Amino acid sequence: MSATIQDISSERNTGGAHGETANSMQLVSFRLAQEEYGIEITRVQEIILMGEITRVPQTPDFIKGLINLRNTVIPIVDLRRRFGLPEEKASDETRIMVMNVAGKTIGIIVDAVSEVLRIAKDQIAPPPPTVAGLGRDYLTGLVKLDKRLLILLDMDKILTSSESVIVDSL
């Protein structure tokens, strides 16, 4: 199933068909390399097509640059580079997810947006201690779905404090 911008906007704004409850939450799932990730739908402002990104000199390699989105300049983070994954050329499915991260609007580049999911909070398992012990504070849990595993991200922790300062200065 492919999520469209309208699907995500209407799900987020209306709370979906049944509304979000204390025992469930809605996620936007997306692909990066061969893995599937999820973030809370309330964090996503919109999903846009890849466009022209202006590179900013002397920034970390995972900061792809800046875009002008309706007269607002937004820094763009390449999530592949942030996670140390090999860079790949943008495809027709590559998207920028515009979201609020630690009080600032940024865009993150993902390989593809998959779908909007409603999950029960008891479906979320904590990340294994071996992963959590590697300083991966941005991993909040794992969701087991049929034959696949969804990795939940805490977008407020995706950047270190020093990296956040760099993004804030752009």
Q: Which residue is it, tokens 């950047």?
A: 159
Please tell me which residue, 110 or 128, carries the higher pLDDT value. Answer: 110
Task: Give me the chain's average pLDDT, please.
Answer: 83
Quote the distance between the C-alpha of residue 76 and its chain's center: 12
Q: What are phi and psi of 103, to 5 degrees?
A: 80, 5
**Residue 11 pLDDT more than 70?**
no
3-state secondary structure 66-111: EEEECCEEEEEEEHHHHCCCCCCCCCCCCEEEEEEECCEEEEEEEC
Q: What is the pTM for the complete model shown?
A: 0.81
**Residue 9 pLDDT more than 70?**
no
Provide the sign of the torsion angle of the four alpha carbons 5, 9, 20, 102, taken in this order.
positive
pLDDT at 13: 47
Quick check: helix, strand or coil at residue 129?
helix
Please tell me which residue, 128 or 89, carries the higher pLDDT value. Answer: 89
Q: What are phi and psi of 161, to 5 degrees?
A: -60, -40
Task: Identify the band that residue 2 occupies on the pLDDT scale cut at 50, 70 and 90.
Answer: very low
Q: What percent of the chain has pLDDT over 70?
A: 84
Q: Which residues of 110-137 are buried (b: 16+ CB within 10 A; e: fewer)?
A: bbbbbebbbbeeeebeebeeeeeeeeee
Mean pLDDT of 36-56: 93
What structural domains does the chain harbor?
A: 5-169 (2.40.50.180)
pLDDT (tens digit per residue) in 142-170: 998 888 889 999 888 888 777 787 777 77
Q: Element (H or E) spanning 124, and its range?
A: strand 124-125
pLDDT at 78: 93
